[in-house]
Structure 1
């Protein structure tokens, strides 16, 4: 009878432990959901991530970010990069890349939208 009692106590202990683990798992999941919402990157973190990811993909370092906005899908940026260095520097070729990121700051796409010489004004926007 002692073995039967020990087996029953062991099963009850195991059930209690499983119930506790299940509760902890549910609480952890709720906490993770809150943390995920609260752990969204700040705009500055998004900018840093975008510059780094674009540089890694294209091999070109971003010189500046000329446009930055949050969208329904995440983030949209326009990044200026040096594509071809020339002498004098005003003859170097620059490019504007449109970069799209998800809400977490992960790059989802990019494309070159403009190429120009560094020393030239932008004729497309009413330049003289």
Structure 2
């Protein structure tokens, strides 16, 4: 039967403290990742916050991406209903959110009639 030598030296204590510190840091980083909202929750929050600020209900989200600073979305809204509906004025808003999904800014980037095709080519050509 073998015996273990388990002396509690300053070096072994220092090594244990370093391992414990590393584990705590790894756990806090995984907790931070878990604190982020799911993408669908970010979409819901963005639409609700934009509607509250502008008074316009969003009809769709045409672009959605995660950025270095959080999230960026393009949200299509009905700004002015008209008859027939194809003549209604629509707008595209660029919405910026922080990593937790809180709106940090928005701006209208385009206004158009619902029934009109986009004449701009992709890539701005």
TM-score band by shorter chain is 0.7 to 0.9
Residue 12 of structure 1 is matched in structure 2 by none
Between Structure 1 and Structure 2, whose CA radius of gyration is higher? Answer: 1
TM-score (norm 2): 0.72
**Residue 78 in structure 1 maps to residue 74 in structure 2:** yes
**Aligned Cα RMSD in Å?**
1.8
Q: Which of 37, 47, 50 does residue 33 from structure 2 map onto?
A: 37
**Residue 117 in structure 1 maps to residue 113 in structure 2:** yes
Gaps of 5+ in 1: 1-29
* CA distance in structure 2 between the partners assigned to 1:36 and 1:56 by the alignment: 28
TM-score (norm 1): 0.71
* CA distance in structure 1 between the partners assigned to 2:42 and 2:94 by the alignment: 14
More helix by percentage: 1
**Residue 68 in structure 1 maps to residue 64 in structure 2:** yes
Residue 54 of structure 2 is matched in structure 1 by 58
CA shift for structure 1 position 32: 7.3
Residue 92 of structure 2 is matched in structure 1 by 96
CA shift for structure 1 position 39: 1.9
* CA distance in structure 1 between the partners assigned to 2:81 and 2:68 by the alignment: 36
Structure 1 residues 68-108: Cα deviation after superposition (integer angstroms, max 9, x where no partner): 00000000000000000000000000000000000000000
